[in-house]
Amino acid sequence: MAKEAKTDTELEAMIGERIAVGGVFVSVRKDALLGWRATVITAPKSATYAQQLADQVAAELRKKFTLKD
């Protein structure tokens, strides 16, 4: 089964909806090892928690989606 290609904006929105933490912005970039990686931008107090959630969601989404060039 082939993976569906999504833009960085689409993946960012999908991850943002799934983690549902206020004041968190998600950025998706190419990654040589994983294909693509999500990084959160938020206040330092919640950065670790939000990044862990984003990493978990991204791991699930990488099974279904690739990043469009």
Query: What would the pLDDT profile of 49-59 be if each residue is shown by its tens digit?
Result: 999 999 999 99
Mean of the per-residue pLDDT values of the chain: 94
User: Would you list the DSSP string of 23-42?
Assistant: T-EEEEEEETTTEEEEEEE-
Q: Is the pLDDT of residue 8 over 90?
A: yes
The domains of the chain are located at 4-67
